[in-house]
Amino acid sequence: MGNNTEAVDRLNEKAYAFHYRDLDSVRTYANKAIQLAGSYTAGRAEALNNLAFVEMAAMRYKQAQTYLDEIGQLTDNQIELLIANVQQMKLCQKQSHNKDFYVYSELAKKRLTRIKDEEFVLNAHEQRRLAYASSEYHIVASAYYYYIGLESPSAKQLKGIDPYGSIQRDTAQLLNYWYNIGAGGILTDKDKRLRTKKEMQYLAACYRYAIEYDYPYWEAQALQSISEHLQDSSSRREIINDNFPIIVTVNTDMMPDSLIAGNLAQRALNIFKRYGDVYQTAGAWRTLGECYWHIDDNNSALICLEHSLKDSKKVEMAPDLIASIREDLCLVYSAINDKRNSDINRNIYLDLQEQTRQDRQLEARASQLDDAVQGLNILIVIVMLMILMVVVLLVIFTRMRRRSDEAFSISKLLKPLSKWKSNNEHEIEIRHEQFDEIKEATDVAYLHLTQNRKRNLEQRAKVQLVCSILPLIDRMVNEINRIRQSQSNHVYCDADGNAEENHAKRLRYVEEITDSITEYNSILTKWIQMRQGELSLRIENFRLQQVFDMVSHSSMGFTLGGIRLIVKPTDKVIKADPTLTLFMVNTIADNARKFTPKGGSVTIEAKTTADRQGNNLPYIEISVSDTGKGMTEEVLSHVFDRTYTGGHGFGLKNCKGIIEKYKKTSSIFKDCMIAAESTVGKGSRIFFWLPSGKIRTILFLAMLSISNLIHAGNKASEFADSAYLSNIMGKYEETLRFADSCHKYIDPKDTVVLLDVSNEAAVAALALHRWDVYKKNNNVYTRLFRLASADSSLPSYISYMQRSKTNKMVSVVLLIILLLVIFPSWYFLYYRHKLNYKFCVERINHMNDILLSDMTDKEKHDGIVKLANFDNFNLKDEQKAKLQNVVERILSALKTNIEHSEEMDSQVELAIDECHRIEMEAGHLHISNSVLDNCLSTLKHETMYYPSRIKQMISNKGFNIDELSEVVTYYHDLYAILAEQALRQVPQQRANKDTYSYMLSILKKSNGNHLFSVEESGKDMLGRPVNIKNAYIIVRMAGLDTLTDSQVANLFTPYTVDLNMLLCRQIVREMGEVTNLRACGIQADKDSQGHVFVKILIPKIYLR
């Protein structure tokens, strides 16, 4: 028997595996399973379910129903009975037996709930069958609700499937699930384009996996559904563009856009024919006909639709399918102006709607209520008999009951205490582990903090170097101004030519200053390159005019080249990084200047962006346009390419990188962009988008409409009658006008008029070949027709039956209450005398429940104390002592644990606070470091070339002192602003004793990591006593003995051989600033023997 069971299961699994691959194989394996099943009824039932699947595909519905009915008589295996119910639901759905569908749906739902409650006892094979049954139930129910026009319940059913659950192990069902979502009507995205794109992705996944795992049925379904998405020419191009990779995948025959839908439908038809599914074959013919109709090949469409009806008479058993075919025939005959046949098919289509009425569910519900009421009547009789029987039993049990008190075991009452102690020990161990984890996290956070402190120290040292350049620029400005002042006073030279010589000296001094600045810039550049990181952004709202003002200061460079710089004023506010925005505008403008000939112009402006319909977008477009030579298509396509500069350098590539960084930062930058336009010989335009920083104003539009409700209904009816008469006379354009007028006056609740006018408008639209109008009005008419043709008495009958059922349920509840009252009566009349001692025991049990509950130990202690008084109970002293001992042991254990827990909680809380403090400080420093990186990098790129430019201007004879003054002044203003911005990012320093150790580690590293001596002296290098608040440190560094005297003297200056020494200088400087002891300093020197030593004077507080 065991071997037969396994063999039958294997055959059935093979049959199931061929469900959507080969129907003949399903039948073969299922028949073998039946022959081998013997007394294994569950295996035979499974085989019958497989055979029923084959018969449904062939549309032999009677034979399929026979197999499914046989299962109900054959086995009590709930899983196979559930699958049979689901297949009966599918049969009802295909035949539009809505009433029976509801009956089988209720049976399947109840079985599914009951099986899932006991799912843990199922074996592996049964769990696979249950997973199939569950997913198939939701899919079939979803399809049913979709076809009767209830899209919300349809989507709800599919949401009952976990796409990442057991369905992942059943590829066929997963494809089924994907197809049903992709086919439409399930997704609820408001954006139709986005919804269609998601549906296409599901269909593409279904198609790809169907081919990969050999499921021709789902391959055809996916092709057919994609074909239906692509039929409408108005949206075809948009869908193809949005899903181009998918279209390329399915369009294996390389058809043009207009023929892709038809090609896919034809391929689906061929697959369904080979597979042998009559229903789907007819549906594929219908889809192919629709494709031909959409490309105006009406004769081919008519042939396809006739095939769908006549190739197999079995399709007449599927009213929904026939209805859709008849509607398509109506459209095709209308397209070829055969109104007679169009009207015939439309009437057949409308007649079929009666069979698919939504109120069939109510009929089924009424039938179920009749059965439920009858069942309640039987239940009332049974309950009354039970009451009589219980009364008799109570009398018997009362006489048989012994009246002796049972002894209660004290050790049993202490078992919960032992269990609590065991659990508590485990919790204490867990809390110790949590404390260790917090401590470990604190150590990691402190490591990050230390790293960020070191990094910030380096940033501050760089800022200090930057600030040391500013006085040099001030001197340069002063010298130029003095020369200009001298010239403006017409003092060119005296008799000895002294004025001219002074001018030359001042210019040489300016050149020397530029050399010094260049050297400092080189040091800064080298230092920054040692620590190049990712681009950091500081996003804020700012007025764009501030950036434009900065750019306009550089107009002299354009003027010298004979180019006019036009900066148009703007009131726009943007949300971005101000420094990077300035960099981008400067870079693009400078690039435009290079390629604009003399006499041309460069224009910088900003404007609000708009979509194709003219609606404003929340972005500001900043553009730089020129009248230069323009770019060819080849150059334009590579203008932002790092590997093809085309003479544009890396500036535009950096701008592109900044935009990409913005887009990765936040969703508000998702539509940011940078692009270029150019026409050879006319010029170029480069623009980029940044989000608007304006406060959005919400406009509230108040709409007031006054209509005469008394006469509106009459006018609507008159216009509906006029539409009807116009159709009879063949004046279809007038019909549509009357229908529009009717809609203006109609009451939405007036179903009759709305039904009439929608039908007339649909008929008129058919005659005029206005298919969109027809579709809209036909949908309204069909929906209202189903509502109007429904049995209006059913809801009231159901309501009556529901009340009857409720009343009988109340009666049953009252009888059950009466049954339950019998027990308390017996309890108080015959058993109350035994409760005294038991109450006390129960009280201790309640204490034990509190002890094992989820309350805190303090709450447990307080609760048990309230229950610990037994004075109100009449107990013997011995009994009271035993119970009191149990309570005291519980309270003692709780008190001890409370004290320990409070101590542990305090330690954990302090550890968490310390960890958060360190993480917060590290986070702040990380942000400061990133911002300073950004500031220093911007300063370097924006100002580095000015010293060489100034020197070059001075070296050119006959230069204009005003031009030089403008460049120097702009350089000074720009440098001052950027330096000030960097200074604002430097955090306020506090005393940190670790900095002394870090300074010594830097010195040790510079010493080649060799040991060096550190001495503290009471006197400085001149032999003077050191201030009591200071410490004079001498560090001997033999590893630096190879340095020259000059290198030693400059060891802690910007000209150092080791830039890390500037960190030591920064540490000493900050020590003095924090403690207000300004005499601090650091200096390197050589002793008489040529050994290098470092002299450090720092506050003594850092040595403690």
Per-residue pLDDT reduced to its tens digit, 943-963: 877 888 888 888 887 778 888
Distance of alpha carbon 718 from alpha carbon 716, whole angstroms:
5
897 assigned to some structural domain: yes
Tell me the mean pLDDT in the region 314-327: 84
> Is there a single domain that holds both residue 1003 and residue 1071?
yes
pLDDT tens digits, residue range 348-377?
Answer: 877 776 555 544 444 545 555 566 566 667
Q: 933 and 960: one domain?
A: yes
- Which residue, of 691, 720, 750, is where some domain finishes? 691
Percent of the chain with pLDDT over 70: 83
Question: Do 493 and 588 have their domain in common?
Answer: no
What is the average per-residue pLDDT within 143-155? Answer: 82
**Predicted confidence (pLDDT) per residue in 531-551, tens digit:** 554 455 667 788 999 888 888
| Half-sphere exposure (Cβ direction) of 940: Cα atoms closer than 13 Å | 21
Q: Is the same domain home to 597 and 647?
A: yes
Contacts 24+ apart (CB under 8 A), 908-911: 908/431, 908/434, 908/435, 908/438, 911/435, 911/438, 911/439, 911/442
Using the 3D structure, point to which of 641, 663, 691 is the last residue of a domain: 691
As a whole number of angstroms, the distance between CA 1008 and CA 1001 comes to: 11
CB 1067 within 8 A of CB 1059: no
pLDDT average, residue stretch 253-273? 92
Q: Which segment of 132-146, 437-451, 904-918 scores lowest on mean pLDDT?
A: 437-451
Residue 768 is assigned to a structural domain of this protein: yes
Residue 604 is assigned to a structural domain of this protein? yes
Q: Is the pLDDT of residue 966 over 50?
A: yes
pLDDT of residue 708: 43
In a domain, 74, yes or no: no
From the list 1094, 1084, 1083, the residue with the least C-alpha distance to 1036 is 1094
Residues, the chain = 1104
Question: What mean pLDDT, rounded, does the chain reach?
Answer: 80
* 116 contacts: CB under 8 Å, gap ≥ 6: 130, 134
Res 830 pLDDT > 70: no
Residues 970 and 1028 placed together within one structural domain of the fold: no
Residue 785: the pLDDT is 64
Kindly tell me if the per-residue pLDDT of 797 is higher than 50.
Answer: no
CATH number at residue 502: 1.20.120
Contact criterion met (CB below 8 Å) for 935 and 978: yes
Task: Note the pLDDT tens digit of each residue in 60-87.
Answer: 989 999 999 999 888 889 999 999 999 9
Residue 565 lies in a domain: no
For the cut 80, the answer to whether the pLDDT of residue 1088 exceeds it is yes
Cα distance between the two ends of the chain: 87
What domain range is 1008 assigned to?
994-1103
Task: Tell me: do 1013 and 963 sit in the same domain.
Answer: no
Q: Which pLDDT value is given to residue 139?
A: 93
- 448 lies in the same domain as 510: yes
Which pTM does this prediction carry?
Answer: 0.46
Residue 145 included in any domain:
no
Q: How many CA atoms lie within 13 A of 612 on its CB side?
A: 0
Q: 334-343, 663-672, 720-729 — which one is most confidently predicted on average?
A: 334-343
Q: Tell me, what's the pLDDT at 494?
A: 44
Report the pLDDT value the prediction gives residue 406, as an integer from 0 to 100: 46
- Are 577 and 655 in the same domain? yes
Among 26-35, 755-764, 1056-1065, the range of highest mean pLDDT: 26-35
1042 with 972, same domain: the answer is no
Query: If pLDDT is split at 50, 70 and 90, which confidence band does 794 have?
Result: very low
Say yes or no to pLDDT of 831 above 70: no
Return the minimum-mean-pLDDT range out of 53-57, 358-362, 1039-1043.
358-362
Give pLDDT, residue 982. 80
State whether 980 and 1005 are in the same domain: no
52 CB contacts (<8 Å, ≥6 apart)? 64, 67, 68, 84, 87
pLDDT in tens, 380-395: 777 677 777 767 766 6
Rounded distance, CA 1062 to CA 1068, Å? 10
Cα(109)–Cα(157) distance, integer angstroms: 12
In a domain, 661, yes or no: yes
**pLDDT score of 145 more than 80:** yes
Do 600 and 508 belong together in one domain? Answer: no
Mean pLDDT in residue range 216-240: 91
Do 764 and 661 share a domain, yes or no?
Answer: no
Domain assignment of residue 684, yes or no: yes
Q: What is the pLDDT of residue 567?
A: 92
- Number of domains into which the chain is organized: 6
**Phi and psi at residue 895, to the nearest 5°:** -60, -45
State yes or no: pLDDT of 176 exceeds 90: yes
